[in-house]
Amino acid sequence: MLLVLRAFLCLSLASTLLANKKTRPRGKMVKLFLDPSVQTNLYIRSMSNIASMSLSPWTYQDNINTSRIPTRISQAECLTSYCLSLRGNDEDLTLEAKPIVYEVLVLHRVSSTKSKKKTKKRKLGYRFTLGTEVITVGCTCVRPSYVNQN
C-alpha cells in the first residue's frame, strides 16, 4: 500500500512538472522534502503472506542503490516455472507462472559541478533527476502460448 502511495505521489509530481514544462524555464530547482518516518517494511511483510498462498508463489529480493530514491526497492522472483495444482503438492503443466511488472518513478542523485575554467571544477553538491524503473511486483498464472508450425 505504501509503495502504491509513493508511486502515486511521484506520478503526480512528474505530471505537475511536465504540465508546467512549457511555462517554466528549463532546469528550475525545486525543494525536495522526504519524510523519514515512512516505513516500507510493513507493506512487504503483509504481501509475503499473499506470495506464499498464491498458485504461483514468489519471494522478494531487495535491490539497493544508494544514489536512488527510494534506495531500496523489493523485486519479486517467481519460485516455480509452472503454477501449483489446487492440491498444492505438484506443478500444473497447463499453467505457466509469469512475473507481473510495473514501472515506477524514481529519483536519481547526480553530483553537480560548475566549471569556472576549463581546468578547475568545483563541486556544488547533488541534483536529482526523475527516471523510471521496471520492477516485478508478483507472479501470476497464465495459459502457455503455442505457435503452430505449419
Does any domain span residue 32?
A: no
Summarised one tens digit per residue, pLDDT across range 105-129 is 999 998 877 655 565 656 578 888 9
Question: Does residue 149 fall inside a structural domain?
Answer: no
The answer to the question of residue 30 being in a domain is: no
CATH number at residue 137: 2.10.90.10
- On whether residue 108 sits in a domain, the answer given is yes
In a domain, 148, yes or no: no
Asked, for residue 33, whether it belongs to a domain, the answer is: no
Q: Is residue 117 part of a domain?
A: yes
Q: Is the Cα dihedral 1, 76, 98, 84 positive or negative? A: negative
Query: What pLDDT was estimated at residue 42?
Result: 46
DSSP-derived secondary structure for 20-81 = TTTTS-TT--------TT--SHHHHHHHHHHHHHSSS-EEEEEEE-TTEESSEEEEEEES-S
In a domain, 7, yes or no: yes
Task: Name the domain count of the chain.
Answer: 1
Domain encompassing residue 127:
2-24+38-142
Q: What is the pLDDT of residues 43-80, one digit of tens each?
A: 555 556 788 888 999 999 999 999 999 999 999 999 99
